[in-house]
Chains A and B, each alone.
Chain A
Amino acid sequence: MEEMFSIFVSMVPVTLAQSLILSFAVLAVMIPFRILAFADLTAEGAYPLGGAACAVAMLAGIPAYLAVLIAFAVGTLAGLATAFIHLKFRIHTLLAGILVTTMLYSINLRLLGRPNVPLFRETKLFDYVSFGPQTANLSRIVLVGVLVVLVLIALSYWFRTERGIAMRAVGDNPDMAEAQGNNVNRAIYLGVGTASGFAAFCGSLMVQSQSFVDVNMGLGLLINALAALMIGETILGRRSIGRQLAAPFLGSIIYYQLISLCLAAGLAPSDLKIATGAFVLLMLGLPILRKQGRGERLAADKVRE
């Protein structure tokens, strides 16, 4: 028990750095899903795409801070593709995302030329904020922490502007939003595109953090992000846009500490998926169980959600 605890504590900084980076992927899942009611899987493909684009850019001598912006832009294109497939051909959002993610796998391999590429000599973003030897995690936490705060401030401003409020209406009641003069398609392109941009941005940060890119790095990202989102929303609720925006970040931090706790407790890495699945089930099931405990009946239309 004591040993488990000390392992867990020793892993806190590295896990925190990881979870801050991955919180952008959770945000990328949250925005289409919760704000636009557009269940989107593109993040799973946009994340390695961002990693690949960033790596290719850095290998070509482009500085790290530009490489992450390139990754963001390329990821945005992936999201736009998903939105286009859905809006143009009326294909279900989930299928549209699966199609794009599948195709992105080939594109990512083409970009990289081989399944994984190391980035040892290139200057990473984190090298700009070094606090001395043996402080790699600290510089990651500080740099990504600052990015998280900036993104949170920017998004909570945006979603309270006229255009941001109009975008939220598109997710809430598209017919009404349209009748009030909002271009629904444009809002979906903007929201889904930006979200995938964040997923790719997340991938580019991760690649720089781990100093290599792997074409399979996106595997399971989505379910992790979803688990983190559910935890964040369970704690903060979804009553206001501020809480909704903070949920991905808080959820990510807590979720990855829980995973780290599982590892410290001796769970094999290959068993983590079942733990993740259990977390998601628990978070989704808790409110229902609580309701049933109070003797409330569930509306029939809520049962399948």
Chain B
Amino acid sequence: MLRIENARRTFFAGTPDEKVALDGLTFSLDRGDFAIVIGSNGAGKSTMLNAISGALMLDSGTIEIAGDNVTRMPVHQRARHVARVFQDPMKGTAAGMTIAENMLLAELRQSRARLRPGLTTARKARYREQLSYLKLGLEDRLDTQVSLLSGGQRQSLSLIMAVMGEPDLLLLDEHTAALDPRTAALVLGATLRAVEALKLTTLMVSHNMQHAVDYGNRILMLDHGKLKLDITGDEKRASTVASLTDHFSVKTDRMLLGG
């Protein structure tokens, strides 16, 4: 479903600040894979998500989604394949527009917007049903401006919007990190239910090792822009928080020694 081949991206090339963010990153996801991406700060997790979504172009290498080479495709064309939920609840929704209008935008991700009325009664009924799964009461507030919602409500809406139309690839960029624990659990629960029910191919970036242990069928660990670990199958089921953090500490020790 997703194939990344030898992806390279360097920031500030040719200056003392040169930083190789992606250094020949190569991996692929099968249809239905739910991979948790871990790695220390600066390992290249965000750069990788930006490269997949199209917000950032690669210096070299290729990215294929659902058999489509998207390497040079701008964000708005990749939107047919990719949906993304950001860490910042403000990023995924249009604040000045209503809940229903935001959901319409998400629905239009996979089709061309046309010159016909947007919010039909049929659509609103469908949105009401989709929102009711969240159990936040948002289904009764279709015409409420999103700016009036709390961060958790906005993030839940972002999630519903992202899974609408069953995207080929769902990118979750630490999407519960900015929420309070209770809300985070709620959004995460909704995420897991949706990914499970729709069998979505998902990349979830998280700093929470427990998430990596508990959820998904794969753990991808990035380090210095490369894939350091790809844990699947029995090894994934046997992994613990301690076994994962070991990989971090080795690296940290080496960093302390100047290696």
Contact = CB atoms under 8 A, between A and B. Distances in A.
Nearest to B104: A165
B75 interface: yes
Interface string B116-143: 1111000000000000000000000000
A164 B119 CA distance: 11
Contact of B97 (A162, A172, A175, A183): A172
B84 interface: yes
Interface string A150-189: 0000000110111111101100110111111111100000
Q: Is the interface of A mostly helix, strand, loop or mixed?
A: helix
B115 A172 contact: no
Contacts of B75: 178-179
Interface string B26-66: 00000000000000000000000000010000000000000
Contact of A179 (B79, B113, B116): B79
B101 interface: yes
A166 B103 CA distance: 11
Contacts of B109: 180-181
Contact of A181 (B96, B108, B119): B108
A179 B170 CA distance: 12
Given A179-B53, A181-B80, A181-B110, A169 B116 contact: no
Contact of B118 (A160, A177, A181, A239): A160
- Interface size class on chain B is 20 to 34
Contacts of B76: 178-179, 181-184
Nearest to B161: A180
Contacts of A183: 76
Interface string B160-172: 0100000000000
A138 B75 CA distance: 52
B221 interface: no
Interface stretch (B86-94, B197-205, B247-255): B86-94
B94 A161 contact: no
Nearest to A167: B113
B91 A176 contact: yes
B105 interface: yes
Contacts of B108: 162, 166, 180-182
Contacts of A177: 94, 105
Given A160-B117, A162-B113, A168 B97 contact: yes
Nearest to B96: A172
Given A166-B105, A169-B97, A180-B79, A161 B91 contact: no
A247 to B, nearest CB: 15
A160 B119 contact: yes
Contacts of B83: 179
A127 B110 CA distance: 50
Given A180-B79, A180-B105, A181-B108, A162 B116 contact: yes
A177 B115 CA distance: 17
Of B83, B102, B145, most buried by chain A (CB within 10 Å of CB) is B102
B106 interface: yes
Contacts of B53: 179
B95 interface: yes
A163 B114 contact: yes
Given A166-B105, A179-B79, A181-B109, A161 B92 contact: no
Interface in A125-161: 157-158, 160-161
Interface in A17-54: none
Contact of A161 (B95, B116, B161): B116
Contact of B104 (A162, A172, A175, A239): A162
Contacts of B77: 181
B79 A172 contact: no
A87 B66 CA distance: 31
Interface string A183-222: 1100000000000000000000000000000000000000
A56 B91 CA distance: 49
Given A161-B115, A162-B115, A166-B113, 11 more contacts: A157-B117, A160-B119, A161-B118, A163-B115, A165-B104, A165-B105, A165-B118, A169-B94, A172-B95, A172-B97, A179-B92
24 contacts: A158-B115, A161-B117, A162-B104, A162-B113, A162-B116, A162-B118, A163-B115, A165-B97, A165-B118, A166-B105, A166-B108, A166-B113, A168-B97, A168-B101, A169-B102, A172-B96, A173-B95, A176-B92, A179-B76, A179-B92, A180-B106, A180-B108, A180-B161, A239-B145
Interface of B: 53, 75-77, 79-80, 83-84, 91-97, 101-102, 104-106, 108-110, 113-119, 145, 161
Closest 4 A/B residue pairs (Cβ): A181-B79, A172-B94, A162-B113, A163-B113
